């Protein structure tokens, strides 16, 4: 019996020692949401709770349109913030790429009318959206 207790204690200690590097190294696998030099653009607009689902559907449609038609490739994810605001987060490869995307958006009538429709579905205008730009360093 005493040998069994010693064996269990030794195995437990060995497992604990082997687990420490795995636990300690878990942060090494965390990836930043944006790499150095990339630009993150956050669009947020107030939206009544009963209009969120409709607005989100319009945002998803707009992102699909962007993916199919924008001459500039960038990632975009729609979402709802904890306070109920709706919008999207875009990641551009550089400031220059973001500027080209913004220029395309401003010139593209379908994209602009889609943004207007998103805002209108929430009872606001596109000017009411808060747009934040973050440069990853």
Task: Report the largest interatomic distance among the alpha carbons of the chain, rounded to a whole angstrom.
Answer: 81
pTM of the model as a whole: 0.76
Q: How does the average pLDDT of the chain come out, rounded?
A: 85
**pLDDT of amino acid 11:** 39
Write down the residue that tokens 């269990």 correspond to: 8
pLDDT of residue 30: 75
Q: Is 92 helix (H, G, I), strand (E, B) or coil?
A: strand
Checking if the pLDDT of 24 tops 80, the result is no
Neighbours of 58 (CB within 10 A): 21
Q: What is the pLDDT of residues 71-95, one digit of tens each?
A: 999 999 999 999 999 999 999 999 9
Does the pLDDT of residue 16 top 60, yes or no? Answer: no
CB atoms < 10 A from the CB of 53, how many? 13
* Tokens, residue 111: 């994209």
């Amino acid at each position: 019996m005493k040998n069994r207790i010693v064996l269990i204690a030794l195995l437990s200690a060995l497992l604990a020692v082997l687990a420490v590097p795995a636990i300690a190294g878990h942060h090494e696998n965390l990836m930043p949401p944006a790499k150095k030099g990339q630009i993150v653009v956050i669009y947020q607009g107030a939206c009544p709770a009963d209009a969120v689902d409709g607005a989100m559907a319009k945002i998803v449609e707009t992102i699909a349109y962007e993916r199919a038609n924008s001459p500039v490739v960038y990632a975009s994810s729609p979402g709802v913030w904890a306070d109920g605001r709706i919008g999207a987060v875009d990641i551009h490869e550089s400031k220059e790429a973001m500027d080209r995307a913004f220029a395309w958006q401003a010139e593209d009538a379908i994209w602009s009318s889609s943004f207007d429709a998103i805002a209108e579905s929430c009872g606001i205008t596109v000017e009411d959206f808060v747009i934040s730009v973050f440069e990853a360093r």
